[in-house]
Structure 1
Amino acid sequence: MSRSKSRAAARLAAVQALYQHDMEGTHLAGLLDEFHRHRLGGEIDDEVDDTQYAEAEVAFFDDLVKGAVARREEIDALIESKLAEGWKLERLDKTMLQILRAGTYELLARADVSTGTAISEYVDVAHAFFDARETKFVNGVLDAVAKAVR
């Protein structure tokens, strides 16, 4: 599998892991272990489609999850500063928030990934969960974050 596909899979898995961490308070080490053993390259539990999760780049996945959790306060403040006046993080859909957190972390900490690549990859992740309006929102917020941090 190409590096771009394995990184795309890692980004999607990172958003799912951050969501689980946020909703269930799963301890980080246990969460990473669960994803390593059952999600990264495992089968997708879907009655319609008998495909597998794409093989994810594990080190990249780990960095996204650990980094987004470790820098959460900084990331959340940055995201909130880019929202429309009167909007708070609490108003965002929980999945949307994790997409923005992972994307913001990547823009902050992964200079090896171009700004355009990082933004378009998280817009693609958003397409897995949302309609066009929300994917434009992801694009706009991450673009504003990138202008602030890059």
Structure 2
Amino acid sequence: MAQGAKTSSRASLRSAARLAAVQALYQMDMTGIDLTDVLAEFEAHRLGQELEGDQYHSAEAKFFRDLVEGVVREQRNLDPLIDQQLAEGWRLGRVDSILRAILRSAAFELTDRDDVPARVVISEYVDIAHAFFNEDEPKVVNGVLDQLAHKTRPKELTRQ
């Protein structure tokens, strides 16, 4: 039982890290804040902290940092991969900024974090999309990530 509690706790810390990474990437996109400053702000004032009356969940800081740094480092490779999965005529630059942050973070996990199962990545980021959107965006996230996962991890997704 203690092992299950530990696993679930780690899962929730990682879920919170993913959400924080999406928020940090969105903030960088919207304000132009640089990587060092956004990491410092989130680690000092948001992860597990209260800010302006909002309580932020504790998050696995190392995982958060890996996601944000990885997306920034690999963005030139990630964006074309995402573009290929979008509907014809759509490009990542045309989608909502928060949706763009979700897709980039998820794409980074799918391409660079093979320690996380693809199905977990897809599920987690669809949940994040539901936190921000009430319309078709979570379906878009699911479709794009499913296609990307089949291209980047075909063996993992064909196993029964």
- How far the C-alpha of 1:88 sits from its partner, in A, is 1.4
Counterpart position of 1:106:
109
Aligned AA for 1:25?
G
- How far the C-alpha of 1:45 sits from its partner, in A, is 3.3
Query: Please, what TM-score do these two structures have when normalized by structure 2?
Result: 0.87
Deviating more after overlay: 62-71 vs 132-141? 132-141
CA distance in 1, matches of 2:131, 2:90: 24
Counterpart position of 1:82:
85
Q: Which has the larger radius of gyration?
A: 2
Aligned AA for 2:15?
A
CA distance in 1, matches of 2:151, 2:52: 39
Q: Aligned pair 1:10/2:17, yes or no?
A: yes
Residue number among 44, 48, 51 corresponding to 1:41 in the alignment:
48
Render the CA deviation track for 1:31-68: whole Å, top value 9, x for unaligned: 1000000010011535xxxx621100000000000000
CA distance in 1, matches of 2:134, 2:113: 27
SS of equivalent to 2:136:
helix
CA distance in 1, matches of 2:34, 2:93: 22
Render the CA deviation track for 1:92-146: whole Å, top value 9, x for unaligned: 0110000000000000111110011000000011011001521111000011111
Tell whether the 8 Å contact from 2:26 to 2:101 is kept in structure 1 after alignment: yes
Q: Which has the higher contact order (CA 8 A, sep 6+)?
A: 1
Unaligned runs of at least 5 residues, structure 1: none
Aligned AA for 1:91?
R
Counting only pairs closer than 5 Å after superposition, residues 120-135 of structure 1 correspond to structure 2 as 120-135=123-138
Deviating more after overlay: 131-140 vs 106-115? 131-140
User: How many equivalent residue pairs?
Assistant: 146
Aligned AA for 1:8?
S
Tell whether the 8 Å contact from 2:45 to 2:51 is kept in structure 1 after alignment: no
CA distance in 1, matches of 2:52, 2:114: 34
Unaligned runs of at least 5 residues, structure 2: 1-7, 154-160
Aligned AA for 1:61?
F
CA distance in 1, matches of 2:76, 2:29: 13
Tell whether the 8 Å contact from 2:110 to 2:149 is kept in structure 1 after alignment: yes
